[in-house]
Amino acid sequence: MLFSGFSKILLGALSLATAGCCTPLSPSSDAACKAIDLALPLGRVNYPDSPTYAQENHYWSNRQTDNIAPACFVAPENTLEVAATMKVLASLNTQFSVKGGGHTAFAGGSNSDGGVTVDLMYLTTLNVSSDRKTVSIGAGNRWINVSEALDTLGLVVAGGRVADVGVSGLILGGGISFFSGMYGWACDNVRNYELVLASGLIVNASPTENEDLFWALRGGGGSSFGIVTRFDMGAYEQPGGNIWHSSLIIPGAANASAIAAYQNLTVNGMPSDNKAHSYMVLTHMDMLGGYAVISDLFHADLPNTADSAHETVPEVFVPFESLPTITKSKSIDNVSTISRAIDVPYGSRQTWWDTTIKATDPSLLIDIVPLWQDHVEKLIAAANGTAVTPYLAYQAIPLNVLKAMEVNGGNALGLKQSDGPLMLIQVAAQWSDSALDELMERSSEGVIGKINDLAKSRGLSHGFVYANYAGNSQSVFESYGADNHAKLKQVAMKWDPEGILRKLWRGYFKL
């Protein structure tokens, strides 16, 4: 009786939509909410006056909820319910969005103002195969659910690094992991996607089934292809789920030597030791005395158990030992513990923009800093004492990661070994005053433009825009290269020939 009342309402609404002579009426989101409410078991659809709605309209970035109110949230409990929801939305021509973990920075990224937001929060199945090689992950899980389950089994996946981030958005955009040096990005580790197409049909995509869709979902995002309901990911043995971690806070004045060490790690260190992983973030915080560099180093090999102080530093990270530090810590912890420790709390307005440049010249990476600092000074002045924390993040895409991306026919991102090694540069900020939104966006966009210009002038530009750190008007799919962009469009046309998703799924990057 799951769908009792569904057909009746749907048919009623459809005849309403086609009544009259010429232009089909566009039934309101309210009609879709009601139709879905009748189609699904009680309690799946939540309206603005309910406490569950308030819980669902809670996102990592305040910009996703400020003055944004869907007509209802729909929270299906299984794939069939997602399919029923999709059928109503398509039939009633209703604008919608999908919330995985809700960690997009910009307004409307995964919330639909006045439309319907499909919240995947109940799709939290998590099953490890009997041979321990595959983990089937429901699309509503957060990474902490995955790591907590796997740590106890001594397994890991090449998934997200931060606890509360959603599994779905991260994998569908690419997914940088602690284990990317060995296994590529998260999307390179999906063995099978289960998804609901615009037609409501449930299909699987793997290297042996619907291969074109499988390729497209590896970096092509969800919103052009369907709602993914389950990811089957490769699992790997990792005793206790433990990794070695060192966190260094370096005074800002030492940024040139820190960046040079990170560039060397990208070009020489990581390719020679694929168990190493690292990112480096420049910031400005009063509590750190102004500008500072945060350097996080991770290693999947654990030192000898006799080293209880965890002081043994993997060879590849030894150059970081001589950098001056404000604080320095080392630990061996499981992925859950680390991912909680590096989580970024809710409650601020957020933006991020990104680009990719060649990593071969340390001076380019160093010369970016003053471009970002000009922007920071402008933001701090405009904030006029209100909270603002700026970031400039360097994330390596070394040759070993580019090579690991080639498994199973490669992904859609268009990153080639011949272009590498590469450096992903992210300009981000969090702040409190909504009056600063426009400045934050335009100024961040401006720095990215200046970084691209500088890289071009030195023959070191690349231009890949990573969807998961992209500003809302960046040309993400164009940056994958003309061939991949065209192929993604073809795949989307094949699986959604009427362009239902392109028309109705609002707010994220379009092909």
The residue ranges that bind ligand FAD (CB under 6 A) are 60, 97-104, 109-110, 120, 139, 160-162, 165-166, 168-170, 172-176, 222-223, 227-228, 344, 468, 508
Nearer to ligand FAD, 175 or 420 (CB): 175
Helix (H, G, I), strand (E, B) or coil at 273: coil
- What's the number of CA atoms in the CB half-sphere (13 Å) around residue 169? 26
CA-CA-CA-CA torsion sign (155, 267, 414, 409): negative
- CA atoms of 199 and 504, how far apart (whole Å): 13
Rounded to 5 degrees, what angle do the CA atoms 140, 143, 145 make? 75
Nearer to ligand FAD, 60 or 236 (CB): 60
CB of 170 to ligand FAD, least distance (A): 4
- CA atoms of 292 and 285, how far apart (whole Å): 8
Nearer to ligand FAD, 35 or 139 (CB): 139
- CA atoms of 137 and 232, how far apart (whole Å): 6
Nearer to ligand FAD, 76 or 362 (CB): 76
CB of 43 to ligand FAD, least distance (A): 21
CB of 232 to ligand FAD, least distance (A): 14
DSSP letter, residue 492: H
DSSP labels, 163-223: TTSBHHHHHHH----TTHHHH-SGGGGEEEEEEE-TTS-EEEEBTTBSHHHHHHHTTS-ST
Nearer to ligand FAD, 338 or 369 (CB): 338
CB of 478 to ligand FAD, least distance (A): 17
Rounded to the nearest 10 degrees, the angle between the axes of helix 437-457 and helix 362-383 is: 160
CB of 310 to ligand FAD, least distance (A): 22
- CA atoms of 389 and 380, how far apart (whole Å): 9
CB of 130 to ligand FAD, least distance (A): 26
Nearer to ligand FAD, 96 or 317 (CB): 96
CB of 123 to ligand FAD, least distance (A): 8
Nearer to ligand FAD, 254 or 342 (CB): 342
